[in-house]
Structure 1
Amino acid sequence: MFLKEISLKYSDDVDLSSYPFTIPVVRNFRELELKNNVTFFVGENGSGKSTLLEAIADQVGFNTAGGSRNNVYDVEKAGSVLGKNLRLSWMPKVNEGFFLRSETFYNFASHIDELQKTDGRAYDAYGGKSLHSSSHGESFLALFNNRFHKGLYLLDEPEAALSPLRQLSLLKIIHDMESSGKAQFIIATHSPILMAYPNSQILDFDGDEIAEVEYEDTDHYNITKDFLNAPERYFRELFRDV
């Protein structure tokens, strides 16, 4: 592992009545110990998991719109107020890695196209062709297979473009990298397939404070399992006349 602990120390100019400090887990956050090479942030939409992940990316020096320290391009509202107040504890500190932000991946792919026009070699790190030339899921895998080597990898809902089969492919990539001691992953996800990764740390953002939970205790696991076992029960409840 590289990143060991994340803590929050407010600067004097922080407005605690404004976003993202209005999110309960952010408002109550003080410090977080990372215990494994693979950590999952889980919770409902708006729970703060992606906000904290983006803040970590900002403090590391990755582009908060997606990319590494070397990817310089702008996307509106890509700044991180929270990131400026985080403190990261390393052993050892690494500068290599990548921040995958699914919602702005199109902008990142366009950024690589622009780099290709100037140096002619930008595609080499992404399978030799534009990320726009493949489906969304295929371009994600091209990124994972060609750009991921060593360092800290922050993935924000990577399942957004991946079929269940491709999510299994991502698990294989994660295993090969982290088991070699070359990489650490922090992943914000809704996918019960991804968060099933063995010996990972799962952190739940749905309460007032971040809580470590077991895989079988997550809502994602239980709702998915219950639905697959008896979908008709859900349909009766969802589709009943009001």
Structure 2
Amino acid sequence: MFLKRIELQGDRTLPFHTYPFSIPAIKNIGQLDLTNKVTFFVGENGTGKSTLLEAIADKAGFNTAGGGRNNYYDVPASESALGDYIRLSWMPKATNGFFLRAESFYNFATHIDSVGAQGAYGGRSLHHQSHGESFFSLFLNRFKGNAIYLLDEPEAALSPQRQLSLLRILHDLEVAGDSQFIIATHSPILLGYPNAVILSFDDEKIQEIDYEMTEHYQITSYFLQHRKKFLQEIFRDS
């Protein structure tokens, strides 16, 4: 464990009428304790998961467009709106790690090509691999021990089988004892990682919930067990 606590800075006047404090879960962060090496952020789109993850990356010194401390490139609108208003408590502070931002991964791949660092990712340009292959090249080649990894929707490019393979990578690094993961996801496969803490952003405050209580699990489970009935309900008025 590296990152132990996230809290809004109480010594500042927060602009609660403006973004990102217009998001209820962000406005109500208060103090958020992290107690597990693997933590998931879940919730509907717009509930603040990515906003908080990006702010953590900003305070950790990672490129908020995606990357680590030594990846210097710019992507429009990648600046953190929340980073200046939170305080992180480390024990000890992580200096190694990576922020995966799925929506700007193309720009990260272009940056890697521009600095000639393809060798660090399996010897092939990330642009010369499929989207899923390039994500997995990152996981296999960049993810090492003694680091914190912040992943924003890593399932975006991964097949179900690749998601299971990512779970194995998380497991191997966690068992080694010196890596921490904070992951914003909609994937019921990833959320099934054993003994992880799942933090929901849905009910105007961030709170821990069980895997079976996540909407991701419940909807997926119901659909798989009652597919025909589920689809009939959806298409009833069409």
Question: TM-score, normalised on structure 2?
Answer: 0.97
Shift of 1:113: 0.7
| 1:137 alignment counterpart | 132
Percentage identity across paired residues of the two chains? 62
Which one-letter code corresponds to 1:48 in the other structure? G
Structure 2: distance between partners of 1:241 and 1:180: 53
**CA drift at 1:232:** 1.1
- Show the counterpart of 2:17: 17
Counterpart in the other structure of 2:34: 34
Deviation per CA, 1:135-167: give whole Å up to 9, x if none. Answer: 000000000000110200000000000000000
Once superposed, what is the RMSD of the aligned Cα atoms?
A: 1.1
Counterpart for residue 211 of structure 1: 207
Q: Deviations over 1:169-198 (max 9, x none)?
A: 000001001110121000000000001000
TM-superposed CA distance for 1:124, in Å, is 2.0
Q: What is aligned with 2:106? A: 106
Structure-2 separation of matches of 1:141 and 1:30:
35
Alpha-carbon distance in structure 2 between the residues aligned to 1:163 and 1:200: 21
Where does residue 181 of structure 2 map in the other structure?
185
How far off is 1:28 after superposition? 1.1
Amino acid at match of 2:160: P
The partner residue of 2:148 within 149, 152, 156 is 152
Secondary structure of the 1:142 match is helix
Q: How does 1:7-86 map to 2 (within 5 A)?
A: 7-9=7-9, 12=12, 14-86=14-86
Give 1:14 shift. Answer: 4.2
User: For 2:52 and 2:164, how far apart are their aligned partners in 1?
Assistant: 25
Q: State the SS of the aligned residue for 1:212.
A: strand
Distance 2:15 2:213 in 1: 35
AA paired with 1:223? I
- Residues in 2 aligned to 1:100 and 1:149: alpha-carbon distance in whole angstroms: 14
* 1:15 CA drift (Å): 2.4
Aligned equivalents of 2:214 and 2:237: distance in 1?
Answer: 30
Runs of 4+ deviating beyond 2 Å: 10-15
Return the alpha-carbon distance in structure 1 between the equivalents of residues 91 and 190 of structure 2: 26
Q: In 2 relative to 1, CA 74–13 (structure 1 residues): closer, same or farther, beyond 3 Å? A: farther
Q: Is the 8 A contact 2:174 2:180 kept in 1?
A: yes
- Counterparts of 1:107 and 1:181, CA distance in 2: 32
Tell me, which stretches of 5 or more residues in structure 2 are unaligned?
none
State the Cα distance separating 1:123 from its structure 2 match. Answer: 1.4
SS in 2 for 1:154: strand
User: Does residue 1:128 correspond to 2:123, yes or no?
Assistant: yes
Rounded to whole Å, the distance in 2 between the matches of 1:215 and 1:144 is: 24
Q: Are the equivalent residues in 2 in contact too, given 1:11–1:85 (CA < 8 A)?
A: no
Runs of 5+ consecutive residues of structure 1 not aligned to the other structure? 117-121
Letter of the structure 2 residue corresponding to residue 8 of structure 1: L
Q: Measure the CA separation in 2 of the matches of 1:214 and 1:185.
A: 18
Residue 70 of structure 1 aligns to a residue whose secondary structure is coil
1:227 offset after TM fit, Å? Answer: 0.5
Q: How far 1:54 sits from its partner (Å)?
A: 0.4
CA–CA distance in 1 between the matches of 2:215 and 2:16?
Answer: 29
Match of 1:119 in 2: none
Shift of 1:12: 4.3
More divergent stretch after superposition (11-20 vs 125-134): 11-20
C-alpha displacement of 1:11: 6.2
Is the 2:40–2:184 contact (alpha carbons within 8 Å) kept by the matching residues of 1?
yes
- State the aligned residue count: 237
Indicate conservation of the 8 Å contact 2:51/2:81, yes or no.
Answer: no
